[in-house]
Structure 1
Amino acid sequence: MHPTTVPSLILLLTLISTRWFLTGAALQSQHSHGSGGCIAAERAALLSFKKGIKSDLTNRLASWHGRDCCRWRGVRCSNKTGQVLKHDLRNQNPDISSVDGCDDESALFGELGPSLLSLEQLEHMDLSRNCLTEDQGTIPLFLGSMKNLRYLNLSGIPFSGEVPPQLGNLSKLQYLDLGSQYVGNHDLGSQLYSTDITWIKGLPLRMSPVNLSQISDWPHILNSISSLRVIDLSSCLLGSANQSLQHLNLTKLDKLDLSGNSFDHEIASCWFWKVTSLKYLNLRYHRLFGQFHDALENMTSLQVLDLSFNFNQKRLVMEGNFNNLFSLKILDLTDNEMNRAITVLMDRLLPQRAWDILEELHLGFNNLTGTLPNLIGRFTSLTVLDLSNNNLAGIIPPELSNCTCLRTLDLSNNHLSGLVPTGIGAFANLTSLDLSSNNFSGVISEEHFAGLMNLKKLDLSSNSMKLVVGTDWLPLFSLKIAVLGSCQMGPLFPAWLQWQREITKLDISSTRLMDKIPDWFWPTFSHAIYVDISDNQLSGSLPAHLGDMACVELNINLDLSSNLLEGEIPPCFEINISQSIQFLLLSNNSFSGKFPAFLQKCTTLQFLDLAWNNLFGRLPEWIAEMTGLQFLRLSHNAFSGSIPTEITNLQYLQYLDLSSNSLSGFIPRHLSNLTAMTLKGPRLLLSGTAMTLPDGEGNQVAGVTIADQFGQILSIITKGQQLRYGSTLAYFVSIDLSGNSLTGEIPSDITSLDGLINLNLSSNNLRGKIPMKIGTMQSLESLDLSSNDLFGEIPSSLTDLIYLSYLNLSYNHFSGRIPSGRQLDTLNVDNPTLMYIGNAGLCGPPLTRNCSGNNSFINGYHKSSRHELELMSFNLGLILGFVVGLWMVFCSLLFLKTWRTRYYRLVDNLYDGLYVFVVVNWASLTRNASAE
């Protein structure tokens, strides 16, 4: 080493040591201000953020105290510098039924303030599914200055307004999510919009569901950003994708999600067929039609193709060149209404080289016909096979047993028949098996379940099968969903269910069980949120510990109807169920006692069915506190007293059945308050929603819907007969008060219920007339007022009820001409007189008693009596006129003195004259008599 270099080296080392010392001292100083591994300025910034939070019901910020902010929940700091790197307060347990963070009680409520700018080294921020819009509701502009951010998730926060282009300044950003909540795979929309997306640059972002409808040239803008690898513009209201790109720059793009944009043009004109690098293409919820483009043959890298749920009447033609899709692993063509034989479809779509690669095949809701082809057994890598809701017939081919990798097999809602092959028992990976709603027969035995150790969902319902296993059989699986309705399992209660302690949905309805409910049943299914054991012959009573079931803390359908249960309905429900129960179905049993008092707290109860029991006593006035009631059926019991007027405060009520009891008194007034009965269309809140249940793979899947609940099991008396309703119950609006001892008149404001479909007031003691405006009830299909004491004319407005298909006015005291025309002339064509029998004063068609001629009736009176009626009317008028005139004279004499004086003088003069006349004439008459 040269001697002159030694001083220089010493000087350099000194400078480096000095800088290291000063930097360490500065950092130590910052740490000392925080007094515990947290920089004071950043601690203050976080506390300022906490101050802006107005509500934290889940106590996520409970640990935000003390000096070391690096130990606070959701905060992670650098081990070297102590600076905050991660700020994660996402709502980890959101309400699955909520629309966004502001619709969820478990969210943080407050504002997103600029104090976070002090977190200069922040790399990861996740505040998703909260409600941080209190300040102004728009995405804060300061976020564009947090230049070290690599991950930013604001999804589920219902921001509005324009997406700030300043987000483009985040040059290090690798993930951006502004999306909203999806329910049932449908985005619920957003108030966010953008007129410029040039700031996107190279971000792998999710812009869904930002409104981009004003950007017509969006494909060209994206094409100018050659570094893009991921594009998610789902549900962004994009106009079309039929633009052409002369030169493609998106050579690195491997994921494209344009689902939910409803492109309405030929699929061949889409610009993205040139992107041969694509591995993932999602066009779910589309309106594309026509034949596939030949360019599809060049997409050799494509692994996922989702074209499910086509909302266009013009359908896709699946006849393109798919032969080069030998990388394809997932093909989803659900709900494209292809209407063709499944063998033809599979031959054209799935080349031989795809047989060993394809993992998921979704072909449900396509009206596919024919039988399951034997070649299905060649897809040895299949993990998901969904052929549900088609028109497939025949048997399950034995070759299906080759698909040993299957995790999901769904053949439901077809016309498949024959025996279920025992080879299914070899599917060790199977988690979901759905064979429901087919024509399968024969026996399901232990052999069918021999190797199904991972099975979580089993649905064999609506078939003609018999489940036969030993009383000591212990299955290898632990089910979460068991739907076995209509499978013969009885007569003894299936003992193997005792070991299925993870079940959340259980349906063993109509399974021919003729046994006592075992003691282990209720504790075993304490975690269930759906239990249906209806339509069996189960005996026993409800246990006192039923209220401890975890299901009551979610939406519950506890269907125990149509059994032999007896005793009082226990107050066990009161503990937990009362605050969250939606369905309580206990009809057709032998329950006794009064109306259950615990129901007073059931403000969420929507559907209450206690019909066909032995309940008695008065209906409580607090029934109006059950504010969520939509369906109330208490028929065929022994309830007495009057109908509480408070029942008209149930504004969501659309079905009221109190028939066949011992109720008395008047029909409540103010029926117009039943506003749900003034609407048209589906009303049940559950008609468009569903409870979610966990599937076998830890995901939340659609569970109980209104259709699942009722199927075709609910019997309702309407139109003079017993009809069975299922999902259409959502449209059924009815009042049935028949078979009681009600008195008084039919309230006139009942005519305001123009959404009412069925009105039955028969077999009571009602008096008075039919309301004249009954013709305004335009939705009425069935009207029964028979067997009462009603009188008067039948209103002609009945002819305005164009949907009326059943009418019964028999056995009353109606009179006059029967109205005719329109819908009335089409009713009961076999014997229309039955509608009016037992009313002696009625005349005209369809009765043989005429309303004209010698023997006719006019307005309820015989024509021969018409003269007497007119004479009586004349005499009555004459008398009334005389009385009125006399009183006018009398009053005048009473109050006018001059009139009185003249009147008395007139009377005196008349008296004197009359006296002279009588005396003179009397003397003359006497003389004449003597002479004779």
Structure 2
Amino acid sequence: MHQSPALFVLLLMAAAAANWSCFFLVTDARQLEPAHAAGGSCIGRERDALLALKQDISYDPEDYLGSWQSGRQDCCRWAGIMCSNTTGHVIQLDLGGTHLVGQISPSLLSLEQLEYLSLDYTVLTGPNGGVPEFFGSFKNLRHLDLSYMGLVGTLPPQLGNLSKLEYLDLSFTNFNCTIPPQLGNLSKLEYLDLSSSRRMYSTDISWLTRLPLLLHLDMSGANLSSIVDWALVVNIISSLEYLRLSGCSLSSANRSLTHLNLTNLQYLDLSTNNFGHPIASAWFWNVTSITELYLTETSLYGPFPNSLGNMTSLRVLCFGCELASLRELSLGSDPEYVYQATITCNAATMTVDLTNLCDLETLWLDASLSSGNITKFIENLPHCPSNRLKYLSLKSNNMIGIMADRLGQLTSLTMLCLSYNNITGSIPLSIGNLSNLGFLDFSNNHLTTIPQELANCTSLKNIHLSNNNLIGPIPLGIGSCTRLEYLDLSYNSIIGAIPLGLGKCTRLDSIDLSNNHLTGPIPLEIASVVSAPVGSSASAVRQSPLEKQAEFFEVAVHPLHEAVASLHGWMLAIGGFLERAKAVLGRLSRTPADPLVPPDVGKVGTSGAGLHGCFSPRARVCSEIKAPVMQIMPELLELCGGVLTLPPVEEVRPDSREFSDVVSPPCQALASEKCGVADAAVSPSPESGRQAVPFGDGVAKSGLLPTVPGAVVAREVCDFLATLVVAYPGSAVG
């Protein structure tokens, strides 16, 4: 009954704060059914032992132990209990996933015939928060699961006395100790998981060779940095099928094995170890039974060995590195996207013939190839009657060349990512054969055209083609991709109109067509999700002044919002206000309309004074849209001590007949008789006598806000908001 680690983190936080009510947020909705014995009631002393355990439980969020009552004599029918059909002895105690809190009672020693004990995802501990030593006395125990319990201290060597144990899971604990070599006494052990306990370490793992039946070994996260002969040790365990040693600080995989015993090995994960030697010298390339191989962030370099092409059982090869992207926005200028890799962790080359790897499903090589030719790479991919390759990612690998038509033969592809390379030419027409493709990312290359055949990829949900040299129109049939949720064609030279067929893509959440040469209107069906395409020449893609105001507001407030998000308590209210302010201002930019009057953003200083007197487009009363800025104004009374006078909220709707194409200067007063209806805008007011205080330079003033953590930030928020006034019909501003 495993739960996710994220849920259990909430549990531990709740325990620390003694706020047990939040347990209800992390428990799942499943019904926990009691196990039943086939006949007879349980042994009396064992029933008493279970009741003693319940007495030491301080919190039971699901009332899981509700059936554990002294009046119910047959404990074999209690939740989590299973008894032997023949003897009536308790043989299974399963409290996993119940989030119980309390102490592990020594009374459990009365369960002498116990074979199965699971306490995972609980906060049950022995003395000093660790594993009770008496656990080593359960002579009949076959299954012991203590994962995700937050146990601390050391592992008792008495666990080595469990001579019948077949399954031991101690993962995601907080032990700070050496791994006891007595675990080597567990000669019947088949499953051993010591992962994600990063303060466990070992200088000698030779005890593993005394586990002849071991199938599953996971020691990821344990410090094995001083062990040089680790490959020789694991090679002795011929029964191994699963081996995971990621993040163990292993120094090298450069080892020659005279005789290979690991003929049953299927899963091998050596990720996040800084090997730093040629990839071809690693010991595992002749283990042809491997189906999943993970070598991410291992600092391996040089050409892949040709023996890779003989690993015909291989389904997954992950040799990538994590990447980070940075978007830099500057007020009054177009967005600039700057690509940045975390580290250059692998630097191999891949020219191996993979045509016989017919079972290959995942090939992930992000930021791990020093160079390559995409044409030859695609030609070397599996040539099989039933091609199974589903995930292909080659992001940021300095690859050159053009994409071959053979790409269209990879008909099982669901994800294809070739971004941040130097690929040239057209997207091949054969891409239309990829009917299962859901994610396509060719961004940041030098591609020139989008074929109409792309519209045949009707399973597409995400299309990323930004930052290329794309010319020509958007494919007219793009509306056939009715599952489309995200479309980014920005920073190209695409011409023509936006296809009306995009209106059929009702699942679209985001479209970015900025920095192209599009003409004509934005189809009304997609206007609410189109990003304002800055820098384009089409009338349909200019920014409105409200969009400019929204950008200004976001840039000015964003540093404060970041600081607020890191504070506690009452500061969360300010964070929520800023989120809502950002959201409502963002919605102002989604009203489909003719071009609006842009303010002269280039003259706006950090205080925003340059926007004073700028009006939004004229608006008429009685619309479905309310003035969102007005709706959030009442919150400022409580936030800033009631110093602001609030205007009435009015319903508005843009009137395209009264928009003007060009106004210079953009900020000017309008006479009331000329307005006729209602104009509304927010602008910084010079008359307020205040300027926005740059974050970090402000000082909390006495009398307005209490001097508590976060008061400085609140002061600065109020200083900025106090510079904003509301313009009314006919008011002379500026």
Q: TM-score under structure 1 normalisation? A: 0.47
Q: Partners of 1:247 and 1:872 in 2: how far apart? A: 85
Match of 1:226 in 2: 40
User: CA deviation digits over 1:75-96, x for unaligned, max 9?
Assistant: xxxxxxxxxxxxxxxxxxxxxx
Q: In structure 1, give the amino acid aligned to 2:488.
A: D
Cα 1:798–1:792 change in 2 (3 A) is closer
Q: In structure 2, give the amino acid aligned to 1:332.
A: D
Q: Partners of 1:592 and 1:495 in 2: how far apart? A: 28
Cα 1:646–1:493 change in 2 (3 A) is same
Q: Partners of 2:422 and 2:604 in 1: how far apart? A: 47
Cα 1:485–1:803 change in 2 (3 A) is farther
Q: In structure 2, give the amino acid aligned to 1:557.
A: Y
Match of 2:249 in 1: 439
Cα 1:737–1:470 change in 2 (3 A) is closer
Deviation at 1:479, TM superposition (A): 1.5
- 2:129 pairs with 1:303: no
The answer as to whether partners of 1:472 and 1:496 remain within 8 angstroms in 2 is no
- 2:388 pairs with 1:571: no
> 1:617 aligns to what SS in structure 2?
coil
Structure with the greater relative contact order (CA < 8 A, sep ≥ 6): 1 or 2? 2
Cα 1:223–1:534 change in 2 (3 A) is closer
Cα 1:569–1:861 change in 2 (3 A) is closer
Q: Partners of 1:797 and 1:394 in 2: how far apart? A: 53
Match of 1:657 in 2: 488
> 1:322 aligns to what SS in structure 2?
helix
Match of 2:467 in 1: 636
Cα 1:837–1:415 change in 2 (3 A) is farther
Match of 1:919 in 2: none
Q: In structure 2, give the amino acid aligned to 1:226.
A: G
Q: Partners of 2:672 and 2:103 in 1: how far apart? A: 88
Pick the aligned partner of 1:595 from 427, 444, 447. 427
Q: Partners of 1:433 and 1:741 in 2: how far apart? A: 54
Pick the aligned partner of 2:533 from 755, 758, 761. 761
Deviation at 1:822, TM superposition (A): 5.1
- 2:372 pairs with 1:539: yes
Show the 5 A alignment for 1:851-862: 851=612
- 2:512 pairs with 1:736: yes
Show the 5 A alignment for 1:70-81: none
Q: Partners of 1:346 and 1:403 in 2: how far apart? A: 19
Deviation at 1:425, TM superposition (A): 3.2
The answer as to whether partners of 1:398 and 1:421 remain within 8 angstroms in 2 is no
Show the 5 A alignment for 1:158-307: 225-226=39-40, 242-244=67-69, 277-307=89-119
Show the 5 A alignment for 1:2-41: none
Unaligned runs of 5+ in 2: 5-29, 43-61, 322-344, 561-576, 584-596, 614-661, 676-734
- 2:167 pairs with 1:360: yes
Match of 1:610 in 2: 442
> 2:234 aligns to what SS in structure 1?
helix
Q: Partners of 1:458 and 1:826 in 2: how far apart? A: 47
Match of 2:304 in 1: 493
Q: In structure 2, give the amino acid aligned to 1:362.
A: D
The answer as to whether partners of 1:212 and 1:238 remain within 8 angstroms in 2 is no
Show the 5 A alignment for 1:456-855: 456-466=266-276, 475=286, 478-509=289-320, 512-515=346-349, 517-518=351-352, 520-523=353-356, 525-535=357-367, 536-540=369-373, 541-542=376-377, 544=379, 546=381, 548-549=383-384, 552-553=387-388, 556-563=390-397, 565-575=399-409, 577-578=410-411, 580-620=412-452, 623-644=454-475, 646-647=477-478, 650-668=481-499, 674-678=505-509, 734-744=510-520, 752-753=528-529, 759=531, 761-767=533-539, 790=543, 792=545, 805=558, 839=600, 846-849=607-610, 851=612
Cα 1:738–1:394 change in 2 (3 A) is farther
Q: In structure 2, give the amino acid aligned to 1:581.
A: L
Q: Partners of 2:607 and 2:259 in 1: how far apart? A: 65
Larger radius of gyration between Structure 1 and Structure 2:
1
Deviation at 1:487, TM superposition (A): 2.3
Deviation at 1:631, TM superposition (A): 1.9
> 2:302 aligns to what SS in structure 1?
coil
> 1:548 aligns to what SS in structure 2?
coil
Q: Partners of 1:595 and 1:746 in 2: how far apart? A: 26
Q: Partners of 1:389 and 1:352 in 2: how far apart? A: 21
Q: Partners of 2:611 and 2:383 in 1: how far apart? A: 69
> 1:433 aligns to what SS in structure 2?
strand
Cα 1:284–1:617 change in 2 (3 A) is same
The answer as to whether partners of 1:489 and 1:512 remain within 8 angstroms in 2 is yes
What is the Cα-based RMSD across aligned positions, in Å? 5.1
Cα 1:663–1:425 change in 2 (3 A) is same
User: CA deviation digits over 1:712-735, x for unaligned, max 9?
Assistant: xxxxxxxxxxxxxxxxxxxxxx54
The answer as to whether partners of 1:373 and 1:397 remain within 8 angstroms in 2 is no
User: CA deviation digits over 1:505-558, x for unaligned, max 9?
Assistant: 12233674554513x3332x22212222342034341455746347734x6112
Deviation at 1:331, TM superposition (A): 1.0
Q: In structure 1, give the amino acid aligned to 2:198.
A: N
Q: In structure 2, give the amino acid aligned to 1:364.
A: S
Q: In structure 2, give the amino acid aligned to 1:548.
A: H
Deviation at 1:640, TM superposition (A): 1.5
Q: TM-score under structure 2 normalisation? A: 0.58
- 2:196 pairs with 1:389: yes
> 1:297 aligns to what SS in structure 2?
helix
Unaligned runs of 5+ in 1: 1-181, 186-210, 229-236, 260-269, 679-733, 769-787, 808-820, 828-835, 853-858, 875-932
Deviation at 1:434, TM superposition (A): 0.7
Q: Partners of 1:751 and 1:361 in 2: how far apart? A: 57
Pick the aligned partner of 1:424 from 214, 234, 254. 234
Q: Partners of 2:287 and 2:98 in 1: how far apart? A: 42
Deviation at 1:668, TM superposition (A): 4.8
Percent of pairs with identical residues = 23
The answer as to whether partners of 1:660 and 1:740 remain within 8 angstroms in 2 is yes
Q: Partners of 2:248 and 2:377 in 1: how far apart? A: 34
Deviation at 1:663, TM superposition (A): 0.7
The answer as to whether partners of 1:462 and 1:486 remain within 8 angstroms in 2 is yes
Cα 1:802–1:850 change in 2 (3 A) is closer
> 2:179 aligns to what SS in structure 1?
coil
Q: Partners of 1:340 and 1:534 in 2: how far apart? A: 37
User: CA deviation digits over 1:331-390, x for unaligned, max 9?
Assistant: 122223x2413x1x435xx45532x33332111123444443444444444332211223
Cα 1:413–1:631 change in 2 (3 A) is farther
Q: Partners of 2:407 and 2:608 in 1: how far apart? A: 56
Deviation at 1:655, TM superposition (A): 3.0
